[in-house]
Amino acid sequence: MNKLIAQCVLASVMTAAGAFAHAETGPSADALLQSTESVLKQIDDGHFDDVWRDSAAFVGNTYTEQRFGDDTRRSRAPLGAVAKRGWSDITLIQFSNAKDVPDGLYANVDFTTTLQSGKTMFEKLSSRQESDGK
């Protein structure tokens, strides 16, 4: 489960796909939710290559597209299909001089997910505000 959460975090950590619409006003909760739900849907549907391509540069510098897809597929496959998913929390965090985490403003979105098997799991997706404010 921890590996899955790490993969989910990695998958979106770094997909700032418009989640931070206006730098001066901070991120919109609706935009964050829309962005992270879109990434999770891509992962659910097996579109790992799209997630990797939309990720921040440091993800591409750390993982090849093939490795990212293989690792994410391997961690998701045993879980089965998602029955429902809902967000539970949004947290903004400013990182500065942290080991292995690029400086910047991050939004963590926590989800509670129920699988078709009836099991419940927790997912966390993180987005980083890019230098262009998005």
Q: Are 8 and 43 in contact (CB under 8 A)?
A: yes
Whether residue 38 lies inside any domain: the answer is yes
pLDDT per residue as tens digits for the range 39-98: 999 999 999 999 999 988 778 889 999 999 999 999 999 999 999 999 999 999 999 999
**Number of separate domains in the chain:** 1
Whether residue 133 lies inside any domain: the answer is no
Identify residue 43 by its one-letter amino acid code: I
What is the domain extent for residue 18? 2-128
pLDDT per residue as tens digits for the range 90-127: 999 999 999 888 888 989 999 999 999 999 999 999 88
Lowest-confidence segment of 19-23, 87-91, 123-127, 128-132 by average pLDDT: 19-23
**Rounded to 5 degrees, what are φ and ψ at 32?**
-60, -45
Q: Are 130 and 20 in contact (CB under 8 A)?
A: yes
Give the DSSP H or E segment for 47.
Answer: none
Whether residue 107 lies inside any domain: the answer is yes
Q: Which CATH number goes with the domain that contains 72?
A: 3.10.450.50
The dihedral sign for the CA sequence 92, 33, 3, 84: positive
Whether residue 104 lies inside any domain: the answer is yes
Whether residue 89 lies inside any domain: the answer is yes
